[in-house]
Structure 1
């Protein structure tokens, strides 16, 4: 709290080898009814050792108008028109702490220090030599480039997974490894670390990037990813996960590698001649011609039958059908998770549905207000902003209503309703 007439002030945090202090968010400045100003600043404390910890005091240095300072413009003379006009003008200035001359009044330097604080730092939850991620909350999210991903054989897509830990330091987030994916090659591109401000305080974020190149058409499944952490609220181990997900890949299906002829052919002594050695070329040509003739006959028969029946080859499923199938699968996962009271699983499935609907958590409320409100309520309960239990059934009901809306729009041949009304 700084007094009226303060010109400038600086807050200096204590330093020590036993801890690190990092400012969290911006200063909160509030004018008080007694003329003083309340300045609030939050810090994130990171102890570097266990046991007793003494946190030194914070020091504030301010330039304050001297209480007995004389108005420097008093020497301009007695009260008159010019003096009154200048006093009225500068007296209304926010820099004025008293009369007209207070803007230019001499100041004095005031320094004060808060009392030190003694704390006790508990040992690492997993042991003195173990690794731990103590945090208030941990979540895993993913983004794609392009989003939603359209997987095709031989074409790379980028998957980014963010690990967000509230109340932790980026260096505490462990490495995240994606296991091998059958039907695709996975290339790790690295990770980025940073601290991000949130409405609940400073959070650590580490973003991992992979390039995924499908090698076969059909379906590939990305395995579950998870991070073990220690919940500082419940003082118990926990695990945050990103559920396994299957994706459709467009393109030819790769054949299984065939065994080499050397592996399947019977061993023959090199110095022993066989009867087939002398006419192998003639036999091979006859067999090859027979196979070609058989293949041509089958193709002609299939074409004739298709012409008689009036059938046409069916086209492959397009992006819209793939997205609809992924939304249906996400909705089914959300229903299962809600039945078991799994809030994290329900939220993850809802976010997958939103992604396959071509939306984001920030824009879904504009298109589907009920779904946006249900998702916000779930997040508020997860981060302890409310004392009520999350309404998982309500979230699933909102998801089903939004999905019906999308399917009706698809049958009418229309896209999603515009986020903003068209202007003329």
Structure 2
């Protein structure tokens, strides 16, 4: 009896110790990172593990102070081995540090347990092109400014170059915003370049910046987001993989000294530039000018490195013997790798009020040459025009005939009504005939319009076939960028929807294999081996099969392309 009692006590105590140890094991929250030292713009992975099954999540808000949480994954795991079971929940977070220096991942609490804080060191890696460390990176950014000082409102050219020795699965950037300055994107180019004997794809972005005040101007560092193949994942560069390593790059901050407008320039409109031109065009030859008849004079004012909004209106007024009637000016900005070329186009109607000579005064534009640091003037020379008098102002010659007699006058007045009468009859007949011809032609045109479109109007089927032939020609040239543009045009006609991206085609086609090939085409546009990475012939054959399997969608009434996504 007694041994049985003690045996029962021992069993109960063992069960209690087991339950206590189980609770103790469940009440743990462990935090770890894949690395403790990293550079600016690099990410790290935080692994948080809770020894138990749960459907809720810890509070990750404490991380927002020094980190940007890019992604978060949660997994519940359970395993049974050698008769013992293990279950736990883990969270994997991809973090991007917001600053450099010594950072700390704070303690996180969950269900009454707390994780241990983790200390990190984030280095401010140099972005200079002369840095061997930077050049050896698979992707790095260069930042160039065309001058270290400039005048207020003078154009500055900022160039960002993303150099990649590996394939870029995607790339995007923040918007360039410069305090106390206006910004205009002027060019975007891609080309190949060898750096230290290694082939690199270079993506070049160029901006024109116009300072609005003197002093120190700061061009801030901007962030570029990209995805590159992950060396730890052998399938990350596969066509069917959406994975890869996210990489964040930062451009170099630049400071430029902005000089004020020189006091010697005077009160004229401030135009800091390297070249100004004035030209003109007339609506007809100047040898055919007649008093009272208008002629249009169009004057073009252009300046390199200035926007059209910076160009002043021209001073054109009426003068002796003529009136001017100006039209609304036309403003145009042409952008290139040299920056902005602004043009102001002014059209003026000139109406001579008399015959003889009239003089148009010269037009002068004052500007500041930033290359030589001096004030210059561009002049459109004045003109003297010869105006013919109007025909109705020519004086009638004095008659030398004799004054008719009274009898002759009476006879003429008697015969005149008969002549006028016949002239009236003839003119009325001509007017009636003209009205009949006009009515017949109008009815014929109206009937033609009601019978439908003209035979020469191209049907949707013929237009789709023509565009597909052009697509076949672009595939033979092996130019992925031109093929992509032609594909979007053809697909918009094929499905009668406004399609602007390859993802739009994938959504409407509903073909998994086509979707994979379209994703490959998009990736090829950012690859150094763009022409060899994608087989345009294979993609074209897939499109041919789709054409055979489905019929061309009929356009809606009005022949307008419908949007792919409609608002609910």
Give the TM-score taking structure 2 as reference length: 0.38
- The structure with the larger Rg is 2
As a proportion of its length, which structure holds more strand?
2
Give the TM-score taking structure 1 as reference length: 0.50
